[in-house]
Amino acid sequence: MFDAKFPSMDRADLLAIRKGLDSGYREFSRAYGDMIETFFDPLLSFLIWFEQLLLDAPWWLVLTILVGIVYGATRSWKLSVGVFLSFLWVGYFGMWENTMRTMSIITVCTVISIALGIPIGILMARSDRVQMVVTPLLDVMQTMPAFVYLIPVVMLLGIGKIPGVIAVVIYAIPPVIRLTNLGIRLVDKEVLEAGDAYGASSVQRLVGIQLPLSMPTIMAGINQTIMMALSMVVIASMIGVKGLGQPVLKSITNQYFTMGLLNGLAIVALAIVFDRASQAYAKRAQRHMGGLENA
């Protein structure tokens, strides 16, 4: 009498649900797709402008500025020389343009993630209720396969840079939110109390104490965000984001091992450069914060 088969929903009902949701969403995208696209227009023009800027500028200028930024932020000759050499290598193997494209989209995605992520993290740290709502959302964003949320985005906005950016930001933003929240919650209670005792307003408390003191943790979050954005490059290329991801995608379909490897290595080189530079910067910016424990 016990059937081996799970008593699942009737196929017809399931079909009806699917049809209903799909057509509902299609209607929605037909009705509002244009409006939403217009909303993202400024971002799109900025993306194109920034990419063209990196592509049009002479390579030696871009390289000089890059190495300059890295040295300025980290004051490390070793790291600067490393960055210089890896970009020379990337350029020599013919991947300069794709690297510039990837760099432009990663930079924009990182900036968007930080701009959205830090305020969300601050809100989460201030209220347990917000934390209760946001945490499961972040879990979903991090574990849901990227392809799944690519579908509605593509349905809504088509193929191109903006859906790519949205996909990358969804995937990459959780670390910066989580670690901003954590960092602020871990700020030494007595220092905060000192702020309160001297009559600091909540803005003075946030800007003067909480953010600076949680900066090491927030920087770790930003670092993770950059790494995750880079790892999304290949998937983003499937919806038309140009850059180092596309040759990799081509290599998979055509079984070009060397081409895949070279472009993969270029992504790794970018990752290492971003990682080391942001970490060295964070360390330098926090050099006085040690010794809290040996007080």
Partner 1 sequence: MRDTQIQVDGLYKIFGKDPISVMPLIEQGKTKDEILAETGHTVGLLDINLQIQKGETFVIMGLSGSGKSTLIRHFNRLIDPSVGQILVEGTDVMQLGKKELQEFRRHKMSMVFQRFGLMPHWSVVDNVAYGLKVQGIDKTERRAKAQEWLNTVGLGGYEEQYPSQLSGGQQQRVGLARALCTDAEILLMDEAFSALDPLIRSEMQDQLIELQEKLHKTIIFITHDLDEALRLGDRIAILKDGMLVQVGPPVEILLSPADDYVEAFVKDVNRARALTVDNVMKPPAYRVTAETIGGALKQMKNSTGDYGYYFNKDGYQGILLKETLESVPPTSLDDQLNAENWQVLPGISPDALLEEVIPDTLATEYPLPVIDDKGGLKGELSRDCLADVLGGKSRSV
Residues that bind partner 1 (CB under 8 A): 188, 190-191, 193-201, 204, 208-209, 212-213, 286, 288-292, 294-295
Q: Give whichever of 152 and 216 is closer to partner 1, judged by the CB atom.
A: 216
Q: Give whichever of 132 and 207 is closer to partner 1, judged by the CB atom.
A: 207
- What secondary structure letter does DSSP report for 49? H
Shortest reach from residue 113's CB to partner 1, in Å = 24
Shortest reach from residue 153's CB to partner 1, in Å = 40
Shortest reach from residue 189's CB to partner 1, in Å = 9
In angstroms, the CA 156 to CA 262 distance is 34
Shortest reach from residue 202's CB to partner 1, in Å = 9
Amino acid at 261: L
Q: Give whichever of 141 and 200 is closer to partner 1, judged by the CB atom.
A: 200
**Paired tokens of 111:** 């900036």
Backbone CA torsion sign across 163, 240, 95, 227:
positive
CB 215 within 8 A of CB 207: no
Amino acid at 47: L
Q: Give whichever of 4 and 295 is closer to partner 1, judged by the CB atom.
A: 295
CB 192 within 8 A of CB 210: yes
Helix H or strand E segment including 209: none
**Paired tokens of 138:** 């972040």
Q: Give whichever of 55 and 192 is closer to partner 1, judged by the CB atom.
A: 192
Shortest reach from residue 210's CB to partner 1, in Å = 11
**Paired tokens of 284:** 């330098």
Shortest reach from residue 222's CB to partner 1, in Å = 18
Spatial neighbors of 83 by CB under 8 A, at least 6 apart, are 66, 67, 70, 273, 277
CB 246 within 8 A of CB 237: yes
Q: Give whichever of 77 and 198 is closer to partner 1, judged by the CB atom.
A: 198
